[in-house]
């Protein structure tokens, strides 16, 4: 038996071990959660068509928010932050859209004798993000922006771009310093794998058909905690009357087990990993302990969390179903349809790999990558060929205003 001092020491050691484990989980996510770098075959820069569609589809809401900031706040220096910016064309597409909107805004003072409004962009992502790729593309952005504005007889505002590494689940800016926050397809990522999940989600990497309700609840709890913290941090940083435009992968219905094609994609990834387990390539325990830190909320969940925050009000919220195909090609014949299904499988495999490879390599081994994503491509092709009606990817966009 242990005496009082020994019991206390044992308890303290246990708590330290638990705290160290939780800290390691968080640090691991911040280290390994990033899109594939560079511009190679499996890079995010070359495999982010779906994310680009989301930026284009939500363009009217972003434009409206930018015009409202110009009209209502009249900032001499507009500070704009893109949270979870990643790298590649999508990052600069956002910057370009903002600049073009400001050019056309009658309240931006660009065509008046007084000093024009200046714009400061902060591009934020985790430390592992490929910021170098972003910075190397800025010269091209400057040239294209000048050309687009010149075609309409307009002058782009003076603007500045800076990278800001760090988690958006923590403070990033001084109090009352940002006029517009933007985030597209990034707040869907959780700050960590849900606490206490362990190996409960047996054979799945996400919320799937065989996931237990208790596991789904853990995912919900983690998202509620993270999104509430996200809003709390931003409310301290945004100016009164400032705007946020947030776009997330979401759900059409309240059923947490049905997020459309997003659910199917993760189920097919799980299926590929289970195949490798059955072939003796992976240990079952490794699969059971691997979970993708992503959650797809419903519009009602988002509304409730914003209401609980109390410092913001929703000016716009839209749910739309986006084409889940990773390419823009449409088949014109039966033979072409077969070829298109195979191409879609390969393209979706590359798209998924661009966003999950670092997490998979950190948990498993790099040697499984080629076989795993080849299995996924074949499974995705079979899914396309066998389903008469395929759901798309549900995306929720909402525009928020900071209360005065």
pLDDT higher at 184 or 343: 184
Residue 246 has pLDDT above 90, yes or no: yes
Instruction: Please report, to the nearest 10 degrees, the dihedral formed by the alpha carbons of residues 227, 228, 229, 234 taken in order.
Output: 90
Query: What is the tens place of the pLDDT at every residue in 340-355?
Result: 778 888 888 888 888 8
Q: Which residues of 282-301 are buried (b: 16+ CB within 10 A; e: fewer)?
A: beeeebbbbbbbbbbbbbeb
**Contact predicate 158/116, CB 8 Å:** yes
**CA 201 to chain centroid:** 23
CA angle 20, 22, 23 (to 5 degrees): 60
- How far apart, in whole angstroms, are the C-alpha atoms of residue 38 and residue 312? 37
Which SS3 state, helix, strand or coil, does residue 196 take?
coil
For residue 313, list its beta bridge partners.
401
**Contact predicate 89/121, CB 8 Å:** no
- How far apart, in whole angstroms, are the C-alpha atoms of residue 125 and residue 34? 8
- How far apart, in whole angstroms, are the C-alpha atoms of residue 103 and residue 97? 10
pLDDT band at residue 195 using 50, 70 and 90 as cut-offs: confident
- How far apart, in whole angstroms, are the C-alpha atoms of residue 117 and residue 102? 9
For residue 80, list its beta bridge partners.
121, 180
Write out the two tokens for 85: 């910016």
Mean pLDDT of 87-116: 76
Element spanning 380, H or E? helix 369-386
Query: Looking at residue 110, what is its pLDDT?
Result: 47
**CA 180 to chain centroid:** 18
- How far apart, in whole angstroms, are the C-alpha atoms of residue 236 and residue 337? 52
Q: Which residues of 143-165 are buried (b: 16+ CB within 10 A; e: fewer)?
A: eebeeebeeeebebbebebeebe
Query: Looking at residue 388, what is its pLDDT?
Result: 58
**Contact predicate 400/310, CB 8 Å:** no
Q: Which of 35-44, 154-163, 176-185 is predicted with the least confidence, judged by mean pLDDT? A: 35-44
Q: Which of 100-109, 182-191, 230-239, 302-311 is predicted with the least confidence, judged by mean pLDDT? A: 100-109
**Contact predicate 163/135, CB 8 Å:** yes
**Contact predicate 172/237, CB 8 Å:** yes
- Over the chain, what is the mean pLDDT? 83
Query: Looking at residue 40, what is its pLDDT?
Result: 61
Provide CB contacts within 8 A for 48, sequence distance 6+.
35, 86, 88, 89, 90, 351, 354
CA end-to-end span of the chain: 62
**Contact predicate 403/240, CB 8 Å:** yes
**Contact predicate 110/154, CB 8 Å:** yes
Query: What is the tens place of the pLDDT at every residue in 361-390?
Result: 888 877 888 888 899 899 889 888 876 556
CA angle 61, 72, 77 (to 5 degrees): 90
Q: What percent of the chain has pLDDT over 90?
A: 39
Checking DSSP bridges between strand 238-249 and strand 393-402, what pairing results, if any? Answer: antiparallel
Provide CB contacts within 8 A for 281, sequence distance 6+.
368, 371
- How far apart, in whole angstroms, are the C-alpha atoms of residue 205 and residue 287? 8
Query: Looking at residue 108, what is its pLDDT?
Result: 56
Furthest C-alpha separation in the chain: 85
Q: What is the Cα gyration radius of the chain?
A: 23
Q: Which of 98-102, 230-234, 334-338 is predicted with the least confidence, judged by mean pLDDT? A: 334-338
Checking DSSP bridges between strand 118-125 and strand 393-402, what pairing results, if any? Answer: unpaired
Residue 18 has pLDDT above 60, yes or no: no
DSSP label at residue 252: S
Query: What is the tens place of the pLDDT at every residue in 200-228?
Result: 888 888 988 888 999 999 999 999 999 99
**CA 115 to chain centroid:** 36
Query: Looking at residue 26, what is its pLDDT?
Result: 39
Residue 118 has pLDDT above 70, yes or no: yes
């Amino acid at each position: 038996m242990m005496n009082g001092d020994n019991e206390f020491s044992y308890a303290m050691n246990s708590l330290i071990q638990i705290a160290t484990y939780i800290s390691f989980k968080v640090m691991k996510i911040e280290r390994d959660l990033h899109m594939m770098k560079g511009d190679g075959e499996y890079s995010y820069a070359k495999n982010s068509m779906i994310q680009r569609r989301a930026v284009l589809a939500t363009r009217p809401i972003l434009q409206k928010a930018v015009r409202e900031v110009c009209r209502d706040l009249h900032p001499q220096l507009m500070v704009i932050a893109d949270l979870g910016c990643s790298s590649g064309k999508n990052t600069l597409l956002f910057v370009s859209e903002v600049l073009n909107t400001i050019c056309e805004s009658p309240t931006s003072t660009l065509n008046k004798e007084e000093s024009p409004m200046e714009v400061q962009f902060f591009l934020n992502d985790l430390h592992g993000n490929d910021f170098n790729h972003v910075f190397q593309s800025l010269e091209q952005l400057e040239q294209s922006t000048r050309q687009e504005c010149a075609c309409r007889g307009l002058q782009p505002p003076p603007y500045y771009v800076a990278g800001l590494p760090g988690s958006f689940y923590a403070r990033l800016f001084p109090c009352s310093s940002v006029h517009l926050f933007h985030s597209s397809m990034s707040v869907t990522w959780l700050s960590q794998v849900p606490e206490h999940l362990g190996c409960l989600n047996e054979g799945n990497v996400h919320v799937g058909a065989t996931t237990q309700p208790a596991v789904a609840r853990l995912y919900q709890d983690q998202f509620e905690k993270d999104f509430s913290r996200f809003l709390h941090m931003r409310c301290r940083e945004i100016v009164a009357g400032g705007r946020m435009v947030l776009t997330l992968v979401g759900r059409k219905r309240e059923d947490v087990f049905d997020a459309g094609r997003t659910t199917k994609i993760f189920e097919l990834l799980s299926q590929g990993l289970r195949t490798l387990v059955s072939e003796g390539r992976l240990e079952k325990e490794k699969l059971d302990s691997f979970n993708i830190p992503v959650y797809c909320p419903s519009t009602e969940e988002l509304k409730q969390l914003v209401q609980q925050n109390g410092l913001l009000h929703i000016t716009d919220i839209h749910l739309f179903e986006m084409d889940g195909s990773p390419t823009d090609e449409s088949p014109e014949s039966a033979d072409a349809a077969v070829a298109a299904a195979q191409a879609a499988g390969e393209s979706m495999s590359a798209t998924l790999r661009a966003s999950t490879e670092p997490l998979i390599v950190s948990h498993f081994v790099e040697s499984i990558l080629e076989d795993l994503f080849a299995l996924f491509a074949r499974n995705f092709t079979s899914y396309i060929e066998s389903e008469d009606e395929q759901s798309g990817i549900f995306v929720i966009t909402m525009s928020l205003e900071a209360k005065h």
